[in-house]
């Protein structure tokens, strides 16, 4: 809690001046709210005089109106200042979070669900707004004003002041009881929200499948379960805290019941004037409101602390390690040496070793799930190997600065991801600062210029979420154009399994040829006929290399590759029997 508070204070540092001004204005504004009570008190004293000074009463009324106006102005200013400060801080925080996410390994996203990251970026950051824009000024005022009031009341009549305050400690004691275990409760609360978030994301992203298989919300059990869990949790929580909370509310407003007998007694004893008696009634009630406010903020503050912890969790996550002394690769040969790797406890790559000389083509083939894509992902360090090493130009890739490594490799993914941006921007992200000419040249080489031109808005057409508005083959070619533009010396190509219509295949083959001319190429191929010319074919099975060689050598050896080849040939000859 105290660590979180320290971090929160550090967070608001850059907006310190605005926030101090906001808090000061908020205190003034809230204090102004008490002025009318005091003016009424003075008016009553005056009305009890034998000769009433009417002009004085009018002055008091005008004073009251002025106080209310001033309250309005100071509160509005305070709110504006705190909101400006809050949104500036939130903006910086979101940028910092996004930048941080960019430095983390893919492994981070693999072990967490998208709901968790989304919750932090959106909801938890929003909670910080609550703290800065509302709690800081409100809590300062809600704490200062009762203190001012109490001092004032003690000056007027210390015995009555004690009576007015008597129930407050009892009320807070009760409240303290309701806060027991709040920390763990909130942690559970956030967990269930995160779960809810990720199932909602999954539900909407998987809508096509859900429809195609005629599923309903009801049968999408995970969604229903997480909703139920959330509901049950809140239900239990309410039952636990409501009695205490209600008792607190009753007690905090019950001071009137103490003021009344104490007042009557002191009045009869002659040590309390009627005007003072009335004053204690009014301010006694006026005292409750800020105190109630303070407690609601207390509860919300616990939420802010929990949210801050999660934000801090991302900000302090260890990024992909950078080398202490950066090395420069001597060339672009690439190799794996005794590599072991697993996404979790189960190892999926076992002792994989092979090397790809500069400017040659190596094909990775093997059954589905053999670990081909995994190998491809390890080369640009989406994940770090568990054992063994990966080298580029005789340097361990961990000894290359991550930006350098990223500029050395271009990746065409098995499942192409396009941003919901123009096609132009989707291609252009291959390389910073290139002009239209280069983008179009790359698109031409990747055989997508013609179809892009034929779209209603040409290069300015929005690709749709995840590229949904384009066909699979078109997306593949756009991603090849992106890689051509990047012009990296090492190309890793994870061939898509679908889009096998012959025309598209020819176009893609030709595009790949242009992309990889004069480059070091690692290609994961599903159609063996496309890689017969490769300098080396590496055959994988269940995370192990079972064979290495050229097409001819492997055919001659007569092992797994030969069997795969024969199966492939049979599939080519396969005809629809009539």
Ligand X SMILES: Nc1ncnc2c1ncn2[C@@H]1O[C@H](COP(=O)(O)OP(=O)(O)OP(=O)(O)O)[C@@H](O)[C@H]1O
**How many whole angstroms separate alpha carbon 267 and alpha carbon 277?**
8
Three-state secondary structure readout of 81-127: HHHHHHHHHHHHHHHHHHHHHHHCCHHHHHHCCHHHHHHHHHHHHHH
Element (H, E) at 51: none
- Among residues 243, 313, 319, 369, the one that binds ligand X under rule CB under 6 A: 369
373 binds ligand X (CB under 6 A): yes
Q: Does 370 bind ligand X (CB under 6 A)?
A: yes
Query: Least CB distance from residue 99 to ligand X, whole Å?
Result: 23
Q: Compute the chain's Rg from CA coordinates.
A: 35
Stretch that binds ligand X, among 97-105, 306-314, 369-377, 476-484 (CB under 6 A): 369-377
Residues 303-362 that bind ligand X (CB under 6 A): 343, 348
Length, in residues, of the chain = 578
- Sequential DSSP letters for 143-197: HHHHHHHHHHHHHH-HHHHHHHHTHHHHHHHHHHHHTTTHHHHHHHHHHHHHHHH
How many residues make contact with ligand X (CB under 6 A)?
A: 12
Output phi, psi for 357, to 5 deg: -60, 155
Binding at 489: pick from ligand X, Mg ion, none (beta carbon under 5-8 Å per type) = none
Q: How far is the CB of 411 from ligand X (least distance, A)?
A: 13
Asked if 368 touches ligand X (CB under 6 A), the answer is: yes
372 binds ligand X (CB under 6 A): yes
DSSP bridge pairs for 336: 354, 390
Minimum CB–partner distance for residue 342 and ligand X (Å)? 8
**159 or 340, CB closer to ligand X?**
340
Residues 6+ apart with CB under 8 A from 177: 244
In the complex with ligand X, which residue's Cβ is closer, 116 or 306? 116
Q: Enumerate residues 6+ apart whose C-beta is below 8 A from 316.
A: none
Sole window of 135-143, 284-292, 313-321, 406-414 interacting with Mg ion (rule: CB under 5 A): 406-414
- Binding pattern for the stretch 386-425 against ligand X, x by CB under 6 A and - elsewhere: ----------------------------x-----------
Q: How far is the CB of 376 from Mg ion (least distance, A)?
A: 8
**Which range in 63-71, 156-164, 364-372, 549-557 contacts ligand X by CB under 6 A?**
364-372
Separation of CA 522 from chain center: 34
Phi–psi pair at 82, nearest 5 degrees: -70, -35
273-285 burial code (b ≥16 CB/10 A, e <16): bebbbbbbbbbbe
Cα–Cα distance, 365 to 540 (Å, whole number): 6
Residue 348: CB minimum distance to ligand X, A = 4
Rounded to 10°, the helix 167-178/158-165 angle is: 20
Query: Min. distance of Cβ 501 from ligand X in angstroms?
Result: 20
- Which one of ligand X, Mg ion, none interacts with residue 368, CB within 5 to 8 A by kind? ligand X
Q: Residue 541 interacts with Mg ion (CB under 5 A)?
A: no
Rounded to the nearest 10 degrees, what angle do helices 136-156 and 158-165 cross at?
Answer: 140
- Smallest gap, in angstroms, from Cβ of residue 561 to Mg ion? 18
C-alpha 554/C-alpha 562 separation (Å) is 7
Minimum CB distance to ligand X, residue 551 (Å): 19
Q: Which of 215, 240, 359, 373 binds Mg ion (CB under 5 A)?
A: 373
The interface region with ligand X, picked from 370-378, 398-406, 432-440, 500-508 by CB under 6 A, is: 370-378
20 binds, among Mg ion, ligand X, none (CB under 5 to 8 A by kind): none
Report phi then psi at 330, rounded to 5: -85, -10
- Minimum CB distance to ligand X, residue 368 (Å): 3
Which residue in 3, 53, 110, 353 binds ligand X (CB under 6 A)? 110
Site for ligand X contains 174 (CB under 6 A): no
Distance, in Å, from the CA atom of 558 to the CA atom of 297, rounded to the nearest integer, reads 75
Q: Which residues bind Mg ion (CB under 5 A)?
A: 373, 414
Q: Which residues bind ligand X (CB under 6 A)?
A: 110, 343, 348, 366, 368-374, 414
């Amino acid at each position: 809690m105290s660590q979180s508070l320290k971090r929160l204070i550090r967070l608001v540092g850059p907006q310190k001046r605005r926030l101090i001004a906001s808090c000061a204005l908020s205190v003034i504004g809230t204090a102004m709210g008490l002025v009318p009570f005091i003016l009424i008190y003075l008016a009553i004293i005056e009305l009890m005089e034998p000769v009433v000074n009417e002009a004085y009463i009018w002055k008091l009324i005008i004073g009251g109106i002025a106080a209310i106006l001033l309250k309005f102005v100071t509160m509005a200013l305070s709110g504006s200042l705190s909101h400006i400060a809050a949104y500036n801080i939130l903006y910086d925080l979101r940028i910092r979070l996004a930048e941080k996410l960019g430095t983390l390994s893919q492994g981070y996203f693999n072990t967490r669900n998208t709901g968790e990251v989304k919750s932090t970026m959106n909801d938890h950051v929003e909670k910080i707004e609550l703290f800065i824009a509302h709690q800081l000024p409100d809590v300062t005022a809600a704490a200062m004003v009762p203190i001012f009031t109490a001092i004032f009341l003690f000056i007027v009549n210390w015995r009555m002041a004690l009576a007015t305050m008597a129930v407050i400690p009892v009320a807070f004691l009760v409240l303290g009881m309701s806060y027991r275990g709040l920390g763990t409760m909130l942690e559970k609360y956030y967990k269930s929200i995160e779960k809810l978030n990720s199932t909602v994301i999954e539900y909407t992203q998987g809508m096509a499948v859900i429809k195609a298989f005629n599923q309903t919300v009801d049968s999408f059990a995970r969604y229903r379960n997480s909703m139920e869990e959330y509901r049950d949790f809140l239900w239990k929580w309410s039952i636990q805290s409501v009695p205490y909370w209600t008792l607190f509310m009753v007690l905090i407003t019950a001071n009137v019941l103490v003021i009344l007998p104490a007042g009557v007694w002191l009045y009869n004893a002659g040590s309390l004037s009627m005007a003072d008696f009335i004053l204690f009634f009014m301010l006694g009630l006026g005292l409750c409101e800020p105190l109630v406010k303070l407690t609601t903020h207390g509860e919300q503050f616990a939420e802010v602390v929990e949210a801050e912890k999660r934000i801090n969790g991302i900000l302090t996550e260890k990024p992909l390690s950078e080398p202490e002394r950066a090395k420069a690769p001597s060339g672009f040969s690439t190799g794996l040496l005794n590599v072991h790797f697993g996404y979790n406890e189960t190892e999926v790559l076992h002792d994989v070793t092979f090397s790809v000389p500069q400017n040659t083509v190596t094909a990775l083939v093997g059954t589905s799930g053999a670990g081909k894509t995994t190998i491809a992902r390890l080369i640009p360090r989406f994940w770090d190997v568990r054992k063994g090493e990966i080298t580029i130009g005789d340097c361990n890739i961990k000894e290359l600065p991550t930006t350098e490594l990223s500029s050395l490799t271009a990746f065409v993914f098995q499942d192409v991801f396009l941003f919901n941006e123009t096609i132009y921007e989707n291609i252009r992200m291959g390389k910073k600062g290139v002009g239209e000419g280069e983008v179009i040249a790359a698109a031409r080489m990747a055989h997508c210029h013609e179809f892009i031109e034929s779209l209603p808005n040409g290069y300015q057409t929005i690709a749709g979420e995840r590229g949904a508005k384009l066909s699979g083959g078109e997306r593949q070619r756009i991603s090849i154009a992106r890689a051509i533009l990047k012009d990296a010396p090492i190309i890793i190509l994870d061939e898509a399994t679908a889009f096998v219509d012959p025309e598209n295949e020819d176009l893609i083959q030709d595009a790949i040829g242009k992309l990889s001319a004069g480059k070091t190429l690692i290609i994961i191929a599903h159609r063996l006929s496309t890689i017969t010319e490769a300098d080396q074919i590496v055959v994988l099975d269940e995370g192990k290399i079972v064979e290495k060689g050229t097409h001819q050598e492997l055919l001659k050896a007569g092992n797994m590759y030969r069997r795969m080849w024969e199966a492939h040939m049979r599939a080519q000859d396969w005809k629809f029997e009539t």
